[in-house]
Structure 1
């Protein structure tokens, strides 16, 4: 394929190519792309296991301490190249959102209907999780647990919630961005990418680190937009050589930025705030995904793999919201047993610590699975037909976002959790009136 043909495919013809999700590779029963569902399930599993690996606890004469085992660990930066799946997660989110939105419009639905559905699906399970976190912190404080440990537990719980807020905003803007994508696909994604680069340049030039948080919008919206290209077939229409060269080019450029010190080689560090390095990671991951999609589709049909995917897909947000409480409970129980029995806990990154990691990760996976099985009713509950106006739907998004920002900025405490639950309930009520 020559350059002109490649540009035609990226910029798009007058009518977008047929959507891959409507082809024979989709599940006949649900119309879902099972290969993409498998990728999403894999991303969720990686996130859970990564956070489990990072969750550490030590006990000294001063008492228990919750630690991040990745801090200062030489092994973590190389590992981050394999476990940084958030760019891929947003690409897949853009793919799935695009397919769902187009199907909804085909059935006569509106952008407000789509937005209301996303608010319901994302925020309803959050009400229970945040409420339970606040209750748990209250019980710890009442039980005499030192205040600093309670604060640390609340901080650790709240850290992953950035994803809920950002994903909510990305999905809320999806109908508008789909419309822009259909009119000018290349200009729209390049405009978002350019904004992300401009923010990074501004942050570096001024030294104002806070400006980097503008990329909580631009970086993740760009990656969601990349998912639209995957959904409408433009990327799959490119030949293998183009995809391979694109992926290798992104990795080479990324390595160059690491060597020059532009970005940290620890890809997890590039999350807070998100840097354009994640755009290059997303391009490489998406190129690889496009290359292996036929293989993934075949794998997704295997009964055991399909069983895992079918379990995770309708429980994705529940798993994400509850895996950290599970890990905190495991850490607290480990510290309690160690103090009660006098057992010395292995130092993070030591040989003994690594020997215990398979058991630790296995227990974390089993307990998170059990929590998802028991607590997914909210995420799976069908939403009544939405009757909200566009203004009320926008207010719902803002209320949900305010709840997440409150927990991230002030930390998760009994009071902030109670306030966040109230905001989440307001958001859910806004889409039903």
Structure 2
């Protein structure tokens, strides 16, 4: 057994068990996203007219806050770790790539079709209630912004079987190729001044981070000496600092996500090295009863929490504005001392209401039948349909019409990621063959 495999065997739970450290980090990432977006909610009422702004625009605190709460790189690393582990276990049980992709389509898009459908209905209700069209449009825009993650993560997970094969054959060459491609996109964007080129890194940056998760799943990172992992973390931080000082990357890590830049790769290296170094104490902490209950709640509902937190924040912002209009009480100015005093209560309320909504939403999603093995063509079309739905909402905005079209596309994607239609055809063919056999027997009775 190689050193990497030995480390993997020592650090990874047996089949059928959960990796508590990974689950806790995933839950922390989701909570970090909710808190980051909650901090960006700004509500004001001026002259009897409500306005909703990004509270972080032009503020000093967004930079240090982004260093703490920009957890998307770690989320993709953990996603790569979990996907590689799950796919390898599926292969051991006789599963294949098609079944894995079909399962990922079902797991990611079932929560999405519920959320987008209800949001479309709510937008229609707001418009019919006389809410100004610009506020309805703003709500749809704000809801759609975080959906980029759903589309990108779906594509990344769908490519896991192919990229894991490449990783198993040439691990360093594969991640190096993705990293070089991401760097090339950054250079081309900076040299040309065309920011749109940066969106090519929606593929290269996030796939490279997912590939880093494969190394974590192999045990290769845990097999490194503590000195080597510490040097990697310090080196990545130094490279980040140099890129900030030189102007290559913005020190605001939230700005580095739209479009994605190679700064996120360095953040991913820091996060991964620190997770590996602290994995044992994290696992011990995660095994505490209260912490375990939290992670057990979040783990199977991670995508549901992500999808529902923005509608919850928008709803709370709307209720805040309505309350101020109704009572006449002034709202604290964004970034004022009183505004900061209210942030802990605001964050706690956002997390609590999101959790309550998720409990209900998860029950609706659980009513959908579990995924069945699909064909490769159907599963691939399901990924394309799901990605198209998200892309449409991001480009055209979330409206009643686009939400309706997106729901139709997502329903098609979920249908394509199931094999019950071919199964019925095959069943029908068996019935027809049986009837034909009977007719032939009747036409040619035994002597």
TM-score band, normalised by the shorter chain? over 0.9
Q: C-alpha offsets along residues 83-122 of structure 1, whole Å, 9 cap, x if unaligned? A: 1100000000000000000000000001000000000000
Q: C-alpha offsets along residues 243-284 of structure 1, whole Å, 9 cap, x if unaligned? A: 000000000010000001110000000000000000000001
**Correspondence 1:5-84 to 2 at 5 A:** 17-18=5-6, 20=8, 23=10, 26=13, 30-61=16-47, 63-84=49-70
Which of these residues, 240, 248, 255, is aligned with residue 234 of structure 2?
A: 248
Q: C-alpha offsets along residues 38-91 of structure 1, whole Å, 9 cap, x if unaligned? A: 000000011111111111211111611111101111111111111110000000
**Partner SS state of residue 311, structure 1:** helix
Distance in 1 separating the partners of 2:366 and 2:246? 47
Segments of 5+ residues of structure 1 without an aligned counterpart are 1-11
Runs of 4+ in 1 over 3 A off after TM superposition: 22-25, 378-385
Q: Is the 8 A contact 1:396 1:427 kept in 2?
A: yes
Going from structure 1 to structure 2, the CA distance change for 1:159 and 1:108 (only over 3 Å counts) comes to same
**Correspondence 1:313-352 to 2 at 5 A:** 313-352=299-338
Corresponding residue of 2:141: 155
Q: Is the 8 A contact 2:374 2:417 kept in 1?
A: yes
Corresponding residue of 1:6: none
Q: Displacement of 1:16 after TM fit?
A: 6.4
Q: Displacement of 1:25 after TM fit?
A: 5.6
Distance in 1 separating the partners of 2:365 and 2:280? 30
Distance in 2 separating the partners of 1:26 and 1:391? 34
Corresponding residue of 1:7: none
Which of these residues, 344, 366, 375, is aligned with residue 352 of structure 2?
A: 366
Which of these residues, 266, 291, 311, is aligned with residue 280 of structure 1?
A: 266
Name the TM-score, length of structure 1 as normaliser.
0.94
Corresponding residue of 1:88: 74
Aligned residues: 419
Q: Displacement of 1:386 after TM fit?
A: 2.1
Distance in 1 separating the partners of 2:31 and 2:201? 25
Q: Displacement of 1:222 after TM fit?
A: 0.2
Q: Is the 8 A contact 1:314 1:379 kept in 2?
A: no
**Partner SS state of residue 42, structure 2:** strand
Distance in 2 separating the partners of 1:27 and 1:128? 34
Larger Rg: 2
**Partner SS state of residue 272, structure 1:** coil
| Alignment RMSD (CA, Å) | 1.6
Corresponding residue of 2:411: 425
**Partner SS state of residue 235, structure 1:** helix
Q: Is the 8 A contact 1:119 1:428 kept in 2?
A: yes
Segments of 5+ residues of structure 2 without an aligned counterpart are 420-447
Distance in 2 separating the partners of 1:416 and 1:381? 25
Q: Is the 8 A contact 2:371 2:417 kept in 1?
A: no
1:210 paired with 2:210, answer no
Which of these residues, 169, 179, 196, is aligned with residue 183 of structure 1?
A: 169
**Partner SS state of residue 409, structure 2:** helix
